[in-house]
Amino acid sequence: MTPLKNLQILAIILPFFGGCAGLPANKTSLQKVPERFDASPPPVPEVATSLRSLFADSGLNGYLARALKANPDLKISATRLEESGFNTRTSRAALFPSLSANGGGFRSQSNSSGQGFDAGTFDAQRYSASLDVQWELDVWGRIRAGITAASQDHLAAEADYRSALQSISAQTAQAYFQLIGATRRVDLAQRRQASFEATLKRVDRRLDLGSGHYGDVSLAKTDVETAKARLAELTDLRNKASRLLGALTGGYPDRSQTAVSWPSLNRRVAAGIPSSLLRKRPDIDAAYQRIRAADARVKIAHASLFPSFSLTGSSGRQSSGLSDLANSDFNVWSVAGNLTAPLFNSGAGRAELGAANARAKTALAQYHATVITALREVEDALGSEGFLASRETALVNALAAAKNAESRVLRNYESGLVEILTLLDTQRRSFDTEEALISVQELRYQNRVTLALALGKAY
């Protein structure tokens, strides 16, 4: 498939719209696209070719393979592509003569009674066999324009299928990372509950020794029960993430899917990603092909305003006896030319031409919107990458400080230097910070997937 020549939005499609009214006549109103996103300096960086090469994770690759093989939405897209191929073949058939075989026979009986005389009854019978040919002459190019429209629809369906491959791959990868994040949060919630239960035992021990208070026990129990509630909530979310991944891979949506460890994220998003990478996006290609299909349908509507010409021919045999059909003496043939011209239809033809032009303008606007959306998605993903990396670094530092503070406060509590509130608050901060870190890590992985999808590199 021929890629778009450049990414100056709409400029590449203007030559195809000579017959469409109301379209831009020059490039002064076209959206300009920078050579690189955020105008970063060269050199052009190396960009991963797919999610598999980006993460190189065997677990993820296994789920991607299952999704591409069994995802029902992908199968729907494949059948639509198959249908468009047959539609193209159907449109091409109209350019050639059609040949059909016909055969028939009848027998009748009549009499002359009631007509003033009686000559008895009359029997009549007739048999025929013929080959009939019909051919519409494509004088105005209407049929050829229909073939062009169907061909562009097929190219758009191919691009839609490639877009579905990209989308399903990205959804599967994001669901995989969502499951990893949910699993790690469940593990953290279990450790949180165990930690608060251990703290409750310490408080009970101090109470037994006479140095504690019943209020401290209640506070510790509050955190234990809150941790249990949080664990139940996160377990439910983890099971939902598993069901989502199971559904995307075409399997039964249950909680049996597993994903535990983050894959390597050593590859950095380099500066200077060229905007020409958007040529790989299949949704842009599909929108472009639909412009060309809409333009071809304008030509169809225009040609329909003129007379149509067709030729018909028939050759065969007719006889009153069935056995005579094998005798060449009973040959018959005919040739005819037909002209059909629209004389009056209350302006329906002109209205259809206007509607076809409007649909072409819609396709043009949709193409423009698709490219703008693509640019925004890339810029959003690139912008988020830096902020997410900064958040992750800050949370890593915060977690180290929180862990250090927790160990110090725990020793001080054992020594009787701090109250239970200080210990519980320090523990909550430590676990909350770790949970926030897991969430940011999940966002970073999903953002990498989003960037790959935005650049047309998800499959």
Tens digit of each residue's pLDDT (9 = 90 or more) over 306-317: 999 888 888 776
Q: Report the pLDDT value the prediction gives residue 366, as an integer from 0 to 100.
A: 96
Tell me the pLDDT tens digit for each residue of 377-430: 999 999 999 899 999 999 999 999 999 999 999 999 888 888 989 999 999 999
Q: Report the pLDDT value the prediction gives residue 457, as an integer from 0 to 100.
A: 87
CATH class of 14-97+141-306+350-454: mainly alpha
Q: Report the pLDDT value the prediction gives residue 33, as an integer from 0 to 100.
A: 61
Take residue 321 and report the two structure tokens written for it. Answer: 């006896």
* 218 touches 232 (CB < 8 A): no
Q: Report the pLDDT value the prediction gives residue 380, as an integer from 0 to 100.
A: 93
Q: Report the pLDDT value the prediction gives residue 120, as an integer from 0 to 100.
A: 59
Q: Report the pLDDT value the prediction gives residue 109, as an integer from 0 to 100.
A: 65
Residues 6+ apart with CB under 8 A from 194: none
- Amino acid residing at 444: R
Q: Report the pLDDT value the prediction gives residue 126, as an integer from 0 to 100.
A: 74
Q: In the chain, which stretches have pLDDT less than 70?
A: 1-48, 106, 108-124, 212, 267-274, 317-330
* 284 touches 4 (CB < 8 A): yes
Q: Return the bridge partners of 309, or none.
A: 137, 339
Q: Report the pLDDT value the prediction gives residue 122, as an integer from 0 to 100.
A: 64
Cα atoms found within 13 Å of the Cα of residue 236, Cβ hemisphere only: 6
**In the chain, where the domains are located:** 14-97+141-306+350-454
Tell me the pLDDT tens digit for each residue of 224-240: 999 999 999 999 999 99
Q: Report the pLDDT value the prediction gives residue 330, as an integer from 0 to 100.
A: 60
